[in-house]
Amino acid sequence: MTASVDLIARAESAHELTHAEIEQILADDSINDILFAAADRVRDKYVGEEVHLRGLVEFSNICKQNCRYCGLRRDNHDIERFRQTPDEIVHMAEKAAAFGYKTLVLQSGEDEWFTVERMTDIIRRIKALGVAVTVSIGEKTSEDYQAYRQAGADRYLLRIETTDRALYEEHDPGMSFDNRLRCLEDLRALGYEVGTGCLIGLPGQTLSSLADDILFFKKIDADMIGVGPFIPNPDTPLKDAVGGSFTLARKVMSLVRLLLPDSNIPATTAMESLNPQGRMIALQSGANVVMPNVTEGNYRRMYALYPGKICINDTPGHCRNCITGKIQAIGRRVADTQGFRKKAPDR
């Protein structure tokens, strides 16, 4: 225990750990509270008490990919598919901006109906609302990413899910690990704030591969890192898998905060699907972002990534009031800015 405590103290001050040291901390559950407290102190020092809310618009659950862990996978014929029109998407964005959201996240499966022309029109119209625009629609060409950027997109979320090449290509059939890396490199070169992240608990995943994930985020200096537990979906090939641990996901998230002290780290919805207080616990363990769903009606229910997804019957207005109250209850406050990463001068 003493050795792990010393490693946490060093990470808190120097923001560096080796692969072996990360793996040691992940394996040692006797120091969890010390790790979480250290991550919370680093969060407070580098990004402050503000929590950034980013309104999530889930606009299509149609996807050409066939990832074995995802409920939106192409071969899932038990899901009810939907695709919002551009006008519907913009209308939801307008309502979200009226609720006070400073950033909107446009998320979908890899739906090829949304051509670059359609997406750039949507982005321009939403950018005109005076918000920051984040796009999360999967792997595209560099030219597409450039077009989104020129239309006003500020950030792009593309989770690596796992940096274990063999594991990635096993669970993402037909996809290329190298192309995933190419996408992240292109996004950085085009001036986006780059978001990525990983799933905790994929079958075949090890603590060593999780340590690789954390060091990968450090290597690319990711601006936003989402860490969430894998929750098996009954309509996927991994329906009988054990799934991820809330505690392990929390530990990975806390280590990410120690190593990337000024990055934006969301308290993910999947955490609250496993623990009723999951997002608030995450906010007290290093996180500083929450992404409330601003999608309306049955679309929430139909965007079925995994079972037990929270708030599927809530309205956007209720979600906004509810999350604000929870944040205030833990002594934090909702930010009134767009929440761009501010790199610390002492790093």
With cut-offs at 50, 70 and 90, classify the pLDDT of residue 312. Answer: confident
Whether 347 has a pLDDT exceeding 80, the answer reads no
- 311 carries a ligand binding annotation: no
Percentage with pLDDT > 90 across the chain = 91
Note whether residue 44 is domain-resident: yes
Q: Is the CB of residue 136 less than 8 Å from the CB of residue 157?
A: yes
What pLDDT score was predicted for residue 346? 62
Query: Rounded mean pLDDT of 96-118?
Result: 97
Note whether residue 341 is domain-resident: no
Note whether residue 345 is domain-resident: no
- 165 carries a ligand binding annotation: no
Domain ranges, residue 156: 2-334
What pLDDT score was predicted for residue 268? 95
Number of domains in the chain: 1
Note whether residue 342 is domain-resident: no
- 319 carries a ligand binding annotation: no
pLDDT digits (tens, 9 = 90+) for 43-61: 999 999 999 999 999 999 9
- 183 carries a ligand binding annotation: no
CATH number for the domain that contains residue 326? 3.20.20.70
Query: Rounded mean pLDDT of 251-276?
Result: 96
pLDDT digits (tens, 9 = 90+) for 289-309: 999 999 988 898 889 888 878
Note whether residue 118 is domain-resident: yes
Whether 127 has a pLDDT exceeding 80, the answer reads yes
- Give me the chain's average pLDDT, please: 96
With cut-offs at 50, 70 and 90, classify the pLDDT of residue 311. Answer: confident
